[in-house]
């Protein structure tokens, strides 16, 4: 509810399963969408076990707009994880979108910041805790530092047709044939240079951005799993 999404996720060849894990789920009332993108160090069975743990916790807390308890339990679950292959939980971006008000609650556990396209202004910037669009209050949600962790729970209000671009560091750590890394500034520059007609939909924007990353890389080798998720706000707020 409230989003159209486009997802690209590719494990590092020749692996058939990778360390990038994404979930897009909806609460039982159809009002709250939760989106998670995680980057787990490792591949195979160890990562599958962590993915299963994450899925279980998301289902347990799916109906709660407040993500603080979810983040506490994710933090504890992976901190206690005893994996014989030494696979460790790495980073995650967790979003809860309440489509009746257009409010987006987000928590970043060491993950790269999402890109945010403001459709009305035709401008790109980063979705981060100190954005001038940050809300100071959300009904029933205690914003700020989550007890027991170093995570912040923040909120913004999305505009009609805004885009959010989530990704893993396999995208930003791409290098060109001269050995130069794309980086965060490079990704933002590619986004700003997307043709205007491509930012009208999540799929067009995602495909165009992925193509731009590939053009930057050229014939250089890929060294990590790659995931790119583009979400577009699609419904008028009911509030």
Give the pLDDT band of residue 37 (cuts 50, 70, 90): very high
Per-residue pLDDT, averaged over 154-165, amounts to: 95
User: What predicted TM-score, i.e. pTM, was given to this entire model?
Assistant: 0.92
From residue 96, give the alpha-carbon distance in Å to each of 36, 135, 181.
9, 14, 31
Q: Do 205 and 143 touch, CB atoms closer than 8 A?
A: no
Q: Do 135 and 143 touch, CB atoms closer than 8 A?
A: yes
Q: Residues 6 or more apart from 152 whose CB is under 8 A from it?
A: 107, 108, 129, 144, 145, 146
Picking from 2, 9, 1, the residue whose alpha carbon sits closest to that of residue 206 is 9
Q: What is the mean pLDDT of the chain?
A: 89
pLDDT at position 48 is 72
Picking from 107, 237, 65, the residue whose alpha carbon sits closest to that of residue 159 is 237
Distance CA 21, CA 158 (A): 24
pLDDT at position 216 is 97
Instruction: With H, G, I as helix, E, B as strand and everything else as coil, classify residue 155.
Output: strand
User: Kindly report the CA angle at 147 between 92 and 129, in degrees rounded to 5?
Assistant: 50
- pLDDT cut 90: percent of the chain above it: 64
Q: How many residues does this entry show for the chain?
A: 239
What are the start-end ranges of the H helices in the chain? 45-60, 68-79, 169-172, 183-192, 202-217
pLDDT in tens, 69-82: 999 988 887 665 55
List the structure tokens of 169: 């560091």
Q: Do 168 and 182 touch, CB atoms closer than 8 A?
A: no
173 pLDDT more than 80: yes
pLDDT at position 87 is 46
Q: Do 36 and 95 touch, CB atoms closer than 8 A?
A: yes
pLDDT in tens, 66-113: 999 999 988 887 665 555 444 456 789 999 999 888 999 999 998 999
Least confident of 45-59, 101-115, 139-153, 192-206: 45-59
Instruction: With H, G, I as helix, E, B as strand and everything else as coil, classify residue 72.
Output: helix
């Amino acid at each position: 509810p409230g989003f159209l999404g486009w997802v690209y996720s590719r494990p590092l060849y020749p692996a058939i399963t990778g360390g990038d894990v994404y979930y897009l789920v909806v609460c039982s009332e159809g009002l709250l969408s939760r989106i998670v993108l995680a980057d787990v160090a490792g591949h195979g069975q160890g990562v599958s076990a962590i993915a299963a743990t994450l899925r279980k916790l998301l289902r347990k807390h799916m109906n709660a707009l407040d993500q603080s308890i979810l983040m506490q339990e994710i933090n504890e679950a992976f901190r206690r994880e005893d994996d014989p292959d030494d696979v460790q939980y790495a980073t995650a971006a967790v979003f809860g979108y309440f489509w009746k008000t257009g409010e987006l609650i987000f928590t970043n556990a060491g993950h790269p910041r999402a890109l945010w396209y403001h459709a009305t202004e035709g401008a790109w910037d980063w979705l981060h805790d100190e954005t001038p669009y940050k809300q100071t209050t959300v009904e029933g949600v205690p914003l700020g530092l989550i007890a027991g962790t170093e995570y912040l729970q923040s909120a913004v209000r999305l505009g009609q047709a805004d885009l959010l671009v989530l990704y893993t560091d396999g995208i930003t750590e791409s290098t060109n044939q001269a050995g130069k890394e794309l980086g965060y500034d490079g990704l933002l520059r590619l986004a700003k240079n997307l043709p205007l007609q491509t930012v009208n939909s999540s799929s067009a924007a995602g495909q165009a951005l992925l193509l731009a990353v590939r053009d930057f890389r050229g014939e250089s080798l890929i060294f990590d799993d790659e995931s790119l998720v583009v979400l577009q706000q699609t419904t008028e707020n009911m509030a």
